[in-house]
């Protein structure tokens, strides 16, 4: 893996929808419960990635997600307008474009 991982997370209706973009691969959204267990599952996924990770989060739990997931080396988190909630793939593309 030579490039950063771009992740979009939308929080809506007690669900966290996650989409990750890697070069050459299609982003497929997966869902987790919007609970401590769901956040821990996302943390576990992100901890296995050694290169920089850029996350864009939106929705009702965006702030708490940013605080829970952003405290790690080589990780950037963007809080995006709630109009993107429910669109995790679009959020992953946002993370890729953000400076």
pLDDT score of 58 more than 70:
yes
Termini Cα distance of the chain = 21
How far is CA 94 from its chain centroid?
11
Residue 2, pLDDT score? 60
Residue 35, pLDDT score? 94
Burial (CB < 10 A; 0-12, 13-18, 19+), residue 23, is: exposed
Q: Which fold has domain 5-97?
A: Nucleotidyltransferase; domain 5 (3.30.420)
Mean pLDDT for the stretch of residues 52-73: 91
The residue ranges of every structural domain in the chain are 5-97
- In the structure encoding, which two tokens stand for residue 3, read together? 């490039």
| pTM assigned to the model | 0.89
SS3 call for 35: coil
CA distances in angstroms from 61 to 47, 68, 70, listed in the order given:
20, 10, 14
């Amino acid at each position: 893996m030579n490039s950063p991982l771009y992740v979009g997370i939308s929080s809506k209706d007690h669900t966290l929808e996650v989409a990750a973009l890697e070069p050459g691969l299609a982003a497929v959204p997966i869902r987790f419960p919007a609970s401590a267990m769901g956040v821990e599952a996302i943390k576990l996924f992100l901890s296995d990635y050694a290169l920089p990770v850029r996350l864009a989060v939106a929705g009702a739990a965006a702030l708490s997600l940013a605080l829970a997931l952003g405290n790690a080396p080589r990780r950037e988190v963007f809080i995006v307008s709630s109009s993107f909630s429910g669109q995790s793939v679009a959020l992953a593309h946002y993370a890729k474009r953000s400076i």
